[in-house]
Amino acid sequence: MLSLIGIFTSLLMIKAFLSLNFDPVVYKLRVQGARYLNKEYVKREVMPIGGIHLSKLVLPSDPFIKSYKVEYADNGVVNLILKERQPAFVLSTSKNYFLVSRDGIFLMKLSKADIYRATAYKIFFDLDPINLSDDEIINPKIISEIETILSYPDWFEKLILEVDIRKKTLYFVKGISIKFNDLNLNRSYEMVIDNLIKNSSIGSRYFVVGQNFVHLPNP
């Protein structure tokens, strides 16, 4: 009985030793979960010619990478499983345009020409610089307000082209704008706004008082 216990203990010790000293050389990287990042770009950044020890495998600092997991397969092959941040909107600052994730991280800088190719994303602007760092929105309240707008029903969100954060004004198709006290809209507001857009002339402006939409004269 004692000999069996000794053998079992020895096996556990050997297993622990191997796990602590397991550091194979990786020769091949399989990238999974990459939708926005180029897989070949990731491989070039991670894998040097001639292979690398598993413990030395380091990912590039890229804002698209939210988190990752490394799984050793076998025979020098590693699976790199990425969780990416997804582009959610375009932010216009006093200096540049940025493609930004829902959690406020600047994913990449955009030129004015890029804006015309990024028409699927609404533009947020008039954000006080005090709420920004060099690479993200740092005010959680602003991020919460943006999340509220991005969580509107799909059919309604698609009507919105631009958002003035500071003035709480939404700019819709046909150049119609509506200023709110609170951007947390309910279902009845959405239906009224949809009707206003359909029946208002181009460039019409409104502001909300209580439950009423007040039409402003053209400037």
CATH 3.10.20 in the chain: give the residue spans: 23-84
Quickly name the fold that domain 23-84 has.
Ubiquitin-like (UB roll) (3.10.20)
Rounded distance between C-alpha atoms, residue 27 and residue 157, angstroms = 46
Q: pTM value?
A: 0.81
Which pLDDT tens digit goes with each residue over 80-132? Answer: 999 999 999 999 998 899 999 999 999 999 998 888 887 889 999 999 999 99
| Tens of pLDDT, residues 199-210 | 999 999 999 988
Position of tokens 């005090």?
130
